[in-house]
Structure 1
Amino acid sequence: MKSKFMEDLHGEGVLGEFLDKFLYGKLQIQEFTRNSRLKPNYMEYQFKGIDVTFTFNGTDYIVDEKATLQYPDGIPTFALELRYKKNNQWREGWFYDETKATRYYLLTWPIRNPVELSDLQVNDIRKVEVMLLSRKELQDYLFKNYQIDRNLIQGEVDNIIKAQKFRKLHTIHPTSNHYYYYTEYLAETPINLVIQKNTLKDLAIFHFNIYRDKPYIKNTNSTIWLRTQFR
């Protein structure tokens, strides 16, 4: 098994260029910073789960950008990482990792040309669907509706590892269509909680389809985020 970390990092960097030009530049935000410009401290911010920071209406946003880059045509779900392997040791995934400084996720579904991620260029990206979500509100949603929290997840993941069953597993609750997924073909063998996009839409602070000419609003909360000329 091979780690795709460097390929993913390249793809994320290209996606970041697209978002800087066609999303963030059209929002009414202040003090925007992308951590990759903060060399030599770039990786320190990366490990803390900070891709960009900005201010909107007096609120500071510390944002981790997450993408479905492996799927060129998009998918109707998003995977929240619960645990992964590094140097043959299990580590806590980013969703419940308390060492992360992340306050918000920018979840992204790029529609792109089917090139290898290592070869991806900005011009290969045709459209990106984006949702901004509060990390706390997403965790609160799972607890309120399904009694899922960090402690329960640790036990659930331990059981998944012991069972050694892979790919799509059981749902997180009898009343839910969100489910666990254990990937065996990546070196990191991540265990994820896969959540449906329709649920994420309901929780999104803003929701856009991003093209090169303008962002197209997908929820009623989005309008106030756009500069006047892009509404």
Structure 2
Amino acid sequence: MSTFDQDLNKEHLLGQFLDEIYEKLNLNFTRVTDTEFQNKGVDLIFVHSGKEYYIDEKAQLDYLNNSLPTFTFELSYLKNGNWRKGWLFDHKKITDHYFLITDIRIKTQTIEEGFESCSITSVDTKKLRKYLENIGLDWDTLNDLDAQIRHSDQEKNIPLRNLKEKQEGCLYFSVQKDEKPLNLKLYLNWLIKIGVAKRIYPF
């Protein structure tokens, strides 16, 4: 099985596990299978008080059986050597909330045996972008930094004067990956503290 197929299999199995959790939480949801809708950043449609919310699930599937305090939000990446805007500030996406799936535990050493547990943190996309803009991390500023970083020898953790690196976050440049993504790495507890996120599972 190719790496791409393995990733799709992981996502499929995790989706089934998450659906069981959503049902336990009595969420009124529909999982999206339409590719066009998925490309707009929608994995789930969640209905609450008569209103639809578009949910994009973001899972730390590369870090199974690990509990990380942070989550990375994509600013940009390369596709076939060409620069592409990442999903965090992509206004073509219609996502209302990110469901960040972290601390993912599997039952055995093979993922096919199923998942045991995870944590889910809901992030309001508009509140997050607005907060970042208010502290001087709007798209234009981050895009300028993006260009500077990609033309330098900086990599991995890159401090920002707007954030406390060990408590709030920093930039993270993954030069070791083919797509060379530049991400905004943010602490989950900080996102909850500033009111742009909340833990929905476990309580």
TM-score with structure 2 setting the length = 0.87
Q: Which residue of 2 aligns with 1:142?
A: 132
CA contact (8 A) 1:112 1:124 kept: no
Q: Distance in 2 between matches of 1:94 and 1:133?
A: 14
Shift of 1:12: 2.0
Shift of 1:186: 1.5
Shift of 1:204: 5.5
Letter matched to residue 127 of structure 1: S
| Count of residues paired in the alignment | 198
Q: What are the residue-to-residue correspondences of 1:198-213 with 2, within 5 Å?
A: 198-202=189-193, 203=195, 206-209=198-201
Q: What is the root-mean-square deviation in Å for CA atoms of aligned residues? A: 2.3
Letter matched to residue 93 of structure 2: K
Q: 1:15 and 2:14 equivalent?
A: yes
- For the structure 1 residues 49 and 136, does the alpha-carbon distance in structure 2 shift closer, same or farther, using more than 3 Å as the test? same
Shift of 1:175: 4.7
The structure with higher relative contact order (CA 8 Å, sep 6+) is 1
Q: 1:186 and 2:177 equivalent?
A: yes
Q: Name stretches of at least 5 consecutive residues in structure 2 with no aligned partner.
A: none
> Which 4+ runs in 1 deviate beyond 6 A?
none
Q: Secondary structure at the match of 1:131?
A: strand
Q: Which residue of 1 aligns with 2:186?
A: 195
Shift of 1:205: 5.4
Q: Distance in 1 between matches of 2:151 and 2:73?
A: 20
Letter matched to residue 42 of structure 2: I
Letter matched to residue 130 of structure 1: I
CA contact (8 A) 2:106 2:114 kept: yes
Q: Secondary structure at the match of 1:139?
A: helix
Letter matched to residue 158 of structure 1: A
Q: Distance in 1 between matches of 2:15 and 2:196?
A: 20
Q: Name stretches of at least 5 consecutive residues in structure 1 with no aligned partner.
A: 37-41, 210-215, 218-231
- For the structure 1 residues 104 and 172, does the alpha-carbon distance in structure 2 shift closer, same or farther, using more than 3 Å as the test? farther
Q: Distance in 1 between matches of 2:198 and 2:162?
A: 27
Q: Distance in 2 between matches of 1:16 and 1:132?
A: 16
- For the structure 1 residues 60 and 79, does the alpha-carbon distance in structure 2 shift closer, same or farther, using more than 3 Å as the test? same
Q: Which residue of 2 aligns with 1:54?
A: 46
CA contact (8 A) 1:131 1:204 kept: no
Identity of aligned residues (%): 31
Shift of 1:11: 1.9
Q: Which residue of 1 aligns with 2:22?
A: 24
Letter matched to residue 174 of structure 2: T
Tell me which moved more, 176-185 or 79-88.
176-185
1:173 is aligned, of 140, 154, 162, to: 162
Q: Distance in 1 between matches of 2:192 and 2:70?
A: 11
Shift of 1:200: 2.2
Q: Distance in 1 between matches of 2:48 and 2:150?
A: 42
Q: Secondary structure at the match of 2:62?
A: coil
1:86 is aligned, of 57, 68, 79, to: 79
Q: Secondary structure at the match of 1:185?
A: coil
- For the structure 1 residues 94 and 168, does the alpha-carbon distance in structure 2 shift closer, same or farther, using more than 3 Å as the test? same
- For the structure 1 residues 75 and 114, does the alpha-carbon distance in structure 2 shift closer, same or farther, using more than 3 Å as the test? farther
1:34 is aligned, of 15, 31, 53, to: 31
Once the two structures are superposed, residues 99-134 of structure 1 have per-residue CA deviations (whole angstroms, 9 ceiling, x without a partner) of 111111101104324988xx633x442211101121
Shift of 1:178: 1.0
CA contact (8 A) 2:55 2:98 kept: yes
Q: Distance in 2 between matches of 1:75 and 1:161?
A: 26
